Structure 1
Amino acid sequence: MDWIQLILKISKQQADFVSEVLMGLGSVSVAFSDTNDDAIFEPKVGETPLWQNVTITALFDVGAEQDYIKDTLKKFCNINEVNFALLKDRVWENECKKDFHAMQFGKRLWICPSWEDSTQLPSDAVVIDMDPGLAFGTGTHQTTDLCLQYLDENPPIGQSVIDYGSGTGILAIAAVKLGANQAVCVDNDPQAVVATLSNIKNNQLESQISALHTDNEGQLEKVNLLIANILAKPLVGLCTHFSTLVKSGGHIALSGILHGQVEMILSAYGEYFLELSVRQKDDWCRVNGIRK
């Protein structure tokens, strides 16, 4: 089915009202995006922040009355520049496949989607079978990349691992494929737990990796390595908890940290961990350390 696409550039203050008008006009979909590419990180609980300049993309049935929509937006929203475009129907699953290919991390580690042939990768490749999905963590973000690089450079052979804030479970899967004996994935999002269990099964690692919700993490035991790819403020809040989960001499790898937030991570974790070091990629950082 084809669609009529309408794109409007408005201010933050207009966003809610304009979206309500568009839905009232019969829009089947309204999406917000940033007009000026200004990032928003770590909003407060309960807040849904918007950028100062917002782009709204709305979809209408192909038979929608464009003149009526345009006149209504001009009258009630004071929007004069209204442009429509025909959005041809496509197989959106195939569109996704065009943008997601096998990716290499470090020397040996690869993520390969199901529609690509992993036998074409180097003979020494350690392959994670994973498609993009709803949960965070398929290697494309710098924070996940930093954690995968760490595992490739420091394969946890014979170790026990916790992947905290696991998202898709990608880090636990990588750890086990690089030699870890066992791993536990922990996340506070039920969708992430479901995604993790599916990816564990796809990689045939059910006997070595388990996944649980944070409500059930009381069963966790101390491990040799804890990896947490979340955000800086939660990492600070979890510092004491993490210290109880890592064995003496064990390692920690923390990601999801912006460059300007590194000092507060080092300050918090310096109480429990030695030899803290930082690795940076673009604006994001990873902090590594050894449990005292």
Structure 2
Amino acid sequence: MNWIEFSVHTTHEAAEPVSNILHESGASGVVIVDSQDLEKDWPAAEDEIIELSPADYPKEGVIIKAYYPEETFTENNVRGIEESINNLRQYDINLGANEVNLQTIREEEWADAWKKYYKPVRITEQLTITPSWEHYEPLSRDEKIIKLDPGMAFGTGTHPTTTLCLQMLEKLLKGGESVIDVGTGSGILSIAAAKLGAGSITAIDVDETAVRVARENALLNDTDKQVQVKQSDLLHYTDMQADVVVANILAEIIMRLADDAFRVLRPGGKFITSGIISRKADDVRNVLEQSGFHVVERTENEDWVAFAAKKKS
């Protein structure tokens, strides 16, 4: 089988919403080629040298590559995807160059493309994300491994917004909590919560593909008994009571979720939010406070902001 590689050159700000559009359009996988990867200190075994070629990366921003079966991918698909990406401008998302390219990829080339850009990465003091095909030995007893396959997942879990959420979860979870993960995507936050000691996790997403992917990744990480994945949105869970709600999504959606998150949280519960571009951080904070939350922590990574807000007792 041949595949169509649909690639778009865009900004770091637009990376996650564009990736989501590509997945929802039926992509069999998405790769994010990030210019900032050239500056990272990639962990390697003693006998391994990781060399990244600048020629494979954009000079700025990211190139997002999505793969579709050639036999079912049409011009109508291309126009629909481009329209959805351009519509992100209504949310004040900077699309940058927004350059689209198409090329045909053979099956074997597509399979190898994932492995070229994906290596184990230590995200927090305890959490390391590693591709499912790599053999990785923990460096300490406290290190917890999350296995992901970029052929199934929404990115590799190393985007700053995901990192901020993982760091917040590691800091705030004490063990035994009930967690709701809104817009779970690959399920990475739910898997991390399980490995960090949460008692039960409800992972929800409106997208059918995300639900399937999250279930597969939960099974891959032996967390499927703790993580229950549902196709839904938060409105269907407002009668539920949770200790933590986590949402790594667009700022506009977080602001719409604030009242519902407040209702489902127990007194003293935490609402962890990320996916917030820095220029919208004050707007999100104001809405959280209007909904009754007290913001207890703000963290930043590059141009992204995450909040931990507490429901007042």
The answer to whether residue 166 in structure 2 is matched with residue 148 in structure 1 is yes
* 1:170 maps to 2:163: no
Are positions 1:100 and 2:118 aligned together? yes
**Shift of the alpha carbon at 1:137?**
5.2
Q: Which moved more, 1:147-156 or 1:171-180?
A: 147-156
Pairs aligned (count)? 240
Structure 1 pair 32/108, CA: closer, same or farther in 2 (3 Å)? closer
Give yes or no for contact 1:135–1:191 (8 Å, CA) kept in 2: no
SS at match of 2:266: strand
Aligned to 1:8: none
* 1:200 equivalent in structure 2: 218
Q: What is aligned with 1:179?
A: 197
- Tell me which residue corresponds to 2:304: 284
**CA contact under 8 A between 2:251 and 2:284: conserved in structure 1?**
yes
Query: Cα deviations across residues 79-110 of structure 1 (Å, max 9, x unaligned)?
Result: xxxxxxxx898533223112111111221111
Q: Aligned partners of 2:251, 2:184: CA distance in 1, in Å?
A: 15
* Residue 19 of structure 2 is aligned to residue 33 of structure 1: no
The one of 141, 145, 156 equivalent to 1:123 is 141
Alpha-carbon shift at residue 118 of structure 1 (Å):
2.8
Q: Which moved more, 1:203-212 or 1:268-277?
A: 268-277
Q: 1:231 aligns with which of 227, 244, 250?
A: 250
Q: Flag the 1:38–1:131 CA change in 2: closer, same or farther, 3 A.
A: closer
The 1:166–1:195 alpha-carbon spacing in structure 2 relative to 1, beyond 3 Å, is: same
Deviates more, 1:141-150 or 1:92-101: 92-101
- Give runs of aligned pairs for residues 265-284 of structure 1, distance below 5 A: 265-271=284-290, 272-284=292-304
Contact conserved, 1:32 with 1:56, CA < 8 A, in 2? yes
Pairwise CA distance, 1:40: 4.6
Contact 1:137 1:144 (C-alpha < 8 Å) held by counterparts: no
TM-score (norm 2): 0.68
5+ residue gaps, structure 1: 4-27, 61-86
Greater RCO structure (CA 8 Å; 6+ sep):
2
Runs of 4+ in 1 over 4 A off after TM superposition: 36-43, 50-54, 87-90
Post-superposition Cα deviations, 1:38-95, rounded to whole Å, max 9, x if no partner, equal 955879xx744186855453437xxxxxxxxxxxxxxxxxxxxxxxxxx898533223
Change (3 A) 1:123 1:30: closer
CA distance in 2, matches of 1:109, 1:129: 11
* Alignment deviations for residues 150-173 of structure 1 (CA, whole Å, 9 cap, x no partner): 122233411111111100111111
Unaligned regions of 5+ residues in structure 2, if any? 19-82, 88-94
Counterpart AA for 2:276: I
- What RMSD, in angstroms, separates the aligned Cα atoms of the two structures? 3.1
Please report how far the alpha carbon of residue 111 of structure 1 lies from its aligned counterpart in structure 2 after TM superposition: 1.3
Q: 2:103 aligns with which of 59, 64, 89?
A: 59
Code of the aligned partner of 2:249: I
* 2:86 aligned partner, one-letter code: P
2:281 counterpart of 1:244? no
Structure number with larger C-alpha Rg:
1
Question: Cα–Cα, structure 1 residues 56 and 198, in superposed 2: closer, same or farther, change >3 Å?
Answer: closer
Corresponding residue number in structure 2 for 1:49: 86
Q: Secondary structure at the residue paired with 2:137?
A: helix
1:37–1:172: structure 2 CA closer, same or farther, 3 Å change rule? closer
Counterpart-to-counterpart distance in 2, 1:287 and 1:197: 27
C-alpha spacing 1:123/1:186, structure 2 compared with 1 (3 Å): same
Contact in 2 for aligned 1:252/1:289 (Cα 8 Å): yes
Distance across 2 between alignment mates of 1:57 and 1:234: 30
Judge conservation of contact 1:276–1:289 (CA < 8 Å) in 2: yes
How far apart are 1:141 and its partner, in Å? Answer: 0.9
Q: Give TM-score, length-normalised by structure 1.
A: 0.72
Distance 2:255 2:308 in 1: 14
Residues in 1 aligned to 2:289 and 2:234: alpha-carbon distance in whole angstroms: 28
CA distance in 2, matches of 1:216, 1:235: 11
Match of 2:277 in 1: 258
Q: Would you say 1:161 and 2:161 are equivalent positions?
A: no
Is 2:250–2:275's contact at 8 Å kept on the other side of the alignment?
yes
- 1:207 and 1:52 map into 2 onto residues whose CA distance is 42
Distance 1:259 1:288 in 2: 15
